[in-house]
Structure 1
Amino acid sequence: MKAFKAIFFLFILAAVYVGCVSDSKKIAADKTVAVVSPKIVSGDFNGDGKQETATLIKPQLNKEGTACLDNNCMAFIRFSDTTIHPISIKHCIGGTPDNLGDLNGDGRDELGILPDWFTSCWRDYEVYSYKNNEWIKPVAPIPTHCNQWEAKVKPIEKDSLNKGYVVIRYSEMVKDSIKTKSKIVSIK
């Protein structure tokens, strides 16, 4: 009976080991996919009434993941509608594009992104609007800090009371602490 229990225990231990190895391979594969798969968002970015997808294409990094293979660390946002010009973002190693909705009332969704970088919790949130077949920045870059993102504070929203204005939420160093502040600004 002891031999049966020992064999049964070894069988269970082997099954658990195989399951763990399988799960760790799956997790490793998922991590690989997460690193190389593009971030995609959809919206009507050119105002034609049809949904397009926007995909962030990251620059290639060296083996150590400490530098870009090109000197600019240039990422691109490309669109499923190839008539929409791509957005080039300098000093960006990743990030997720956001469909911000139609912030300025022109019938086109605005696009936002917080570019990832190697270091620093301070990063500018960028907003883009497609006008006259080119991308413009309808508001100045919004300075943000990790604290703001960890608290899930949106950096920009349409001002429901004032047409043509948005509410900007930004991070600022005040004395010895970082504060999230807000202001209302016009949008192009």
Structure 2
Amino acid sequence: MIKMKRYYFLLLLIGLSLACRNKETKNVEVKTKTFMVDADTILIDTLLISEKDTAFVIKPKVEQDPSLQEKKVFEINVLFSNKKWPTLNFKEAIGADLYLVKDLDGDNRPELLLRPEWFSSCWASINLFSIKDNAWKLVKKGSMYYCADEYPLAKRIEEKESKYYLITDSLADDKFIINKNEIKF
């Protein structure tokens, strides 16, 4: 039995060395931030933003914050499983809904839509970010009517012929209106 385990271990080592010998490696510079998280005051949301990429939204635990009325600034930080993407810091938010779109500006990098969560109101900003100089840069900002939490941002984006559209809703003269606007630079 021991000889059999050694034999399997030897086969595993040979297999690994054969699999790795023709692989080319590249050095990639990765800049990350370290966050100390206090579980009493901070929450982390995990959002799947594509088949391979996950975002981690580090946000304040506002219902547990006794200084809520005194606090003037709320902010979130978003870390990504893709280490080539920098951390995103966003002020005036207590959470976020994210959507990763394909390259819109021709730089072979995806862009990111961020809808910040806030305390109240059905109006929300919608922010388009692009990676420029190894940082997320806000390139376009708009607003949307957003009162139905059962329809997250991912269900409000439509892709058609390599273009993206944001679907928003509003109420005017007691009629429910749906708007569809192209997302572009």
- What TM-score, normalized by structure 1, do the two folds share? 0.56
**Residues 116 and 66 of structure 1: is their aligned pair in 2 closer, same or farther, counting only changes over 3 Å?**
farther
- Residue by residue, what CA displacement relative to the aligned partner does 1:100-155 show, whole Å, maximum 9, x if unpaired? 344455432222233222222322233322133232334432413224x5356733
Tell me the residue number matched to 2:46: 39
Please list, as runs of the form range in 1=range in 2, the aligned pairs for 1:65-80 lying within 5 A after superposition. Answer: 67=68, 70-80=71-81
Given that 1:61 and 1:69 are in contact with CA atoms closer than 8 Å, whether structure 2 keeps it comes out as no
How many residues in Structure 1 have an aligned counterpart in Structure 2?
Answer: 145
Please list, as runs of the form range in 1=range in 2, the aligned pairs for 1:37-186 lying within 5 A after superposition. Answer: 37-41=44-48, 53-61=54-62, 63=64, 67=68, 70-80=71-81, 84-104=85-105, 106-147=107-148, 149-150=149-150, 154-160=155-161, 165-185=163-183
- Identity in percent: 23
Tell me the residue number matched to 1:28: none
Q: Which has the higher strand share?
A: 2
State the distance in 2 between where 1:181 and 1:113 align: 19
- SS at structure 1 position matched to 2:95: coil
Q: Which has the higher helix share?
A: 1
* Alpha-carbon shift at residue 41 of structure 1 (Å): 3.3
Q: How large is the Cα RMSD of the aligned pairs? A: 3.7
- SS at structure 1 position matched to 2:62: coil
Runs of 5+ in structure 1 lacking a partner? 1-31, 45-50
Runs of 5+ in structure 2 lacking a partner? 1-38
State the distance in 1 between where 2:145 and 2:63 align: 27
